[in-house]
Amino acid sequence: MKIVTKAENLDNHKKYIFILQLIDDFLQKKDYQKIDLPVLSPALIPESYLEVFETEFKFLDKKEKLYLTPSPELFLKRLLAYKIGNCYYLGKSFRNSDPPSSLHSFEFTMLEFYKTGVNYMEIADEVLELLNYIKYQISKIKNTNQKSNIFENQKISFNKWEKISVAEAFEKYAGIFEKELFDHQLFLQKARKKGYQVDKFSYEDIWSQIYVQEIEPHLGKNGYPTLIYDYPKEFAALAKLNSDGQTAQRFEFYINGVELGDCYTELSDWKEQKDRFIKEYLERKQNKKINHPIDKGFIKALKYGFPESAGIAIGVERLAAVFLNLNSINELKVINIE
């Protein structure tokens, strides 16, 4: 890898910085408290497939392992348990997985915000308002010096969501019916019939493959952003389950086939969270991921009394690339590690 200076991207970068400001403006006007947080932590939330960066603190003969946070979730949710109310983080997060690409970087800017007393669909309303706010403010600063203006070529409206449930999407785009979608055995049978290599792979492996191959390319392409909701419980992460017992209150949103955000109604049941943590921890071990300590304080915080709330994580570079009509997040950067 090397450090690449791209001064020619300064114009895009300025607009990106402006979008960051707009996000702050919007949330602060709505009384969300901005929180600055550490990016190095001695413990993390265990997530089975997500690899992290590991480093070490050294002082004289003292040594301690630290990990770059893949999301601010563990910190913000502790604070929610202390009843600080609506809050957000806008800053760096780190994920040690794929090589950098047009949509992915191992270090990226994340907006994560939480609102208390609401569920995931109410966060969706807030997000739509945020998108409209950014679009409106950008259109106001139309500058005659700028050749192609932000958003001019985008034929997308933020007046409403195109909402589709995961089950509806699998039926519509992949011909997989609800009965098959949630039953592991039926699902794998169906996938084999469709020509996927199924042997030795898990439900989650094949599900994700079909989702990426057959569902994602259709999302956010009908003139509105798409909100795809109610994921199978296997993909619940830290989300609350629906009363059907098989889906979680979680949505992702897409524009032009690109995933921009991931939202859920927060799981507040500490016992269930603890069970999920243990399961994820064991899966991490099995997947030979870095063996970081589990953040036990997080479970304690939940025990202490976690308010009903929902939160969303949004990839800000991707979002800015959509607004600026760029094909790659790298076009926003004046210094890039490639």
Partner 1 sequence: MRINAGNLKKGDFIHYQNEIWQVQKAEFYSPGKGSALMKTKLWNVKSGKNIDVTFKSVEEVEVVDVESRLMTFLYKDNENLYFMDEKTFNQYPVLLSSVSGLEKYLKEGDKLYVYLYDERPLSVRAPLSVRLKVVEAEEAVKGDTVSGAKKPVKLETGAVIMAPLFIKVGDVVIVNPETGEYTGREGK
Q: Name the residues that contact partner 1, by CB under 8 A.
A: 48-50, 95, 97-99, 101-102, 104, 195, 197, 201-202, 204-209, 211-213, 217, 234-235, 237, 262
User: Hey, what are 27's tokens?
Assistant: 């949330």
Smallest separation (angstroms) from partner 1 to the CB of 289? 12
Minimum CB separation of residue 97 from partner 1 in Å reads: 4
- Return the structure tokens found at 101: 């690409």
Q: Could you give the C-alpha distances from 10 to 15, 174, 214, 303, 327, in angstroms and in order?
A: 9, 42, 37, 47, 16
Closest separation between CB of residue 100 and partner 1, Å? 10
Q: Which is nearer to partner 1, 75 or 207 (CB)?
A: 207
Cβ-contact 247, 230 below 8 angstroms: yes
User: Residue 7 and residue 1: Cα distance in Å, rounded?
Assistant: 19
- Give 127 or 206: the residue with its C-beta nearer to partner 1: 206
CB of 208 vs partner 1, minimal distance in Å: 3
Q: How far is the CB of 197 from partner 1 (least distance, A)?
A: 5
Distance between CA atoms of residues 110 and 50, nearest Å: 16
Instruction: Decide whether 189 or 197 has the Cβ nearer to partner 1.
Output: 197
Q: Please name the residue that has the structure tokens 């202390």.
A: 82
DSSP, collapsed to helix, strand or coil, labels residue 256 as coil
The nearest distance, CB 258 to partner 1, in angstroms, is: 12
Q: Phi and psi of 17, rounded to 5°? A: -60, -40
Closest CA to 190 of 177, 200, 172, 209: 177
Of 180 and 262, which CB lies nearer to partner 1 in the complex structure? Answer: 262
Q: What is the DSSP letter of 281?
A: H
116 or 208: CB nearest partner 1: 208
